[in-house]
C-alpha cells in the first residue's frame, strides 16, 4: 500500500509537471513594440560618446573619438559633433585632429571635418582651417577656408590647400602666400 501511494504521488507530480510545461509551450513569443506612425526601417541611428577605428594587417590605421554621431542609413553617412582622432602613418608619425563636427562616409572611410579644425603632425607641422577632408584611398588632406599650414620655419596661408598626411607635398589655391623664416 505504501508503494502504491508513492507511485500515485509520483504519477500526479509528473502529470502536474507535464501540464505546466504544456502551458508554457502554448504561450506566444514576445512581440516587438509597434513602430510609431510614419516610421520606417531606414531611420537614422544616434550614438553618443563613441569611437571608430580601422586596423590593417594588425596595425592601427586611424581612430576617431566622437561626442555625438547620427548615422543616416540611406546615404551611409555619419554626421559627427565634437570630433578628435589620430591617423597613424607608416613612418611612425601620428596626425592628431580635432574639430567641432563633420561627416564620415562609412563605405569609403573618408572624413570631412568642419568648424575649428586643427591637425598636428607629431614629426612637426600643423594645419588650421574651417574645413578639412581626408581621403583614405588617396591619403590626402584637403583644407579649405582660412587655411594656415605651419611646418618648421615655413608658414603658408590660402583659401584652399591639398597635401599628403606627412605635409611633404603641398598645393595652395586662392590668395596663397608662403613665408619662410617665420617663427610659428
> Per-residue pLDDT tens for 147-184?
998 888 889 999 998 887 777 788 889 998 999 886 65
- Band of residue 40 on the pLDDT scale cut at 50, 70, 90: low
Domain that holds residue 83: 45-180
Residue 82 confidence (pLDDT): 94
- What is the rounded CA–CA span in Å between residue 131 and residue 112? 7
Is residue 10, in this structure, part of any structural domain at all?
Answer: no
Burial of 96 (0-12, 13-18, 19+ CB in 10 A): middle
- What is the rounded CA–CA span in Å between residue 32 and residue 133? 41
Domain count, the chain: 1
Residue 131, number of CB atoms within 10 A of its CB: 18
Q: Cα-flanking dihedrals φ and ψ of residue 165, to 5°?
A: -65, -15
CATH number at residue 155: 2.60.450.10
Is residue 13, in this structure, part of any structural domain at all?
Answer: no
Q: What is the DSSP string of 18-29?
A: HHHHHHHHHSPP
- Band of residue 1 on the pLDDT scale cut at 50, 70, 90: low
- The conformational region for residue 2 under phi > 0 = left, psi -120 to 50 = alpha, else beta, is alpha
Residue 112 gets which letter from DSSP?
A: E
- Band of residue 29 on the pLDDT scale cut at 50, 70, 90: very low
Residue 51, number of CB atoms within 10 A of its CB: 10
Is residue 121, in this structure, part of any structural domain at all?
Answer: yes
Amino acid at each position: 500500500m505504501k508503494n502504491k501511494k508513492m507511485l500515485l504521488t509520483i504519477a500526479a507530480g509528473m502529470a502536474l509537471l507535464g501540464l505546466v510545461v504544456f502551458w508554457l509551450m502554448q504561450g506566444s513569443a514576445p512581440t516587438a513594440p509597434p513602430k510609431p506612425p510614419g516610421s520606417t526601417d531606414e531611420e537614422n541611428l544616434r550614438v553618443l560618446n563613441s569611437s571608430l577605428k580601422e586596423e590593417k594587417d594588425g596595425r592601427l590605421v586611424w581612430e576617431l573619438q566622437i561626442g555625438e554621431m547620427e548615422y543616416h542609413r540611406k546615404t551611409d553617412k555619419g554626421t559627427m559633433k565634437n570630433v578628435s582622432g589620430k591617423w597613424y602613418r607608416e613612418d611612425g608619425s601620428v596626425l592628431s585632429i580635432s574639430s567641432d563636427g563633420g561627416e564620415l562616409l562609412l563605405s569609403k572611410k573618408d572624413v570631412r571635418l568642419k568648424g575649428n579644425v586643427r591637425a598636428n603632425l607629431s614629426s612637426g607641422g600643423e594645419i588650421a582651417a574651417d574645413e578639412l577632408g581626408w581621403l583614405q584611398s588617396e591619403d590626402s588632406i584637403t583644407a579649405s577656408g582660412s587655411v594656415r599650414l605651419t611646418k618648421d620655419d615655413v608658414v603658408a596661408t590660402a583659401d584652399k590647400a591639398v597635401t599628403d598626411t606627412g605635409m611633404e607635398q603641398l598645393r595652395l589655391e586662392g590668395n596663397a602666400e608662403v613665408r619662410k623664416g617665420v617663427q610659428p
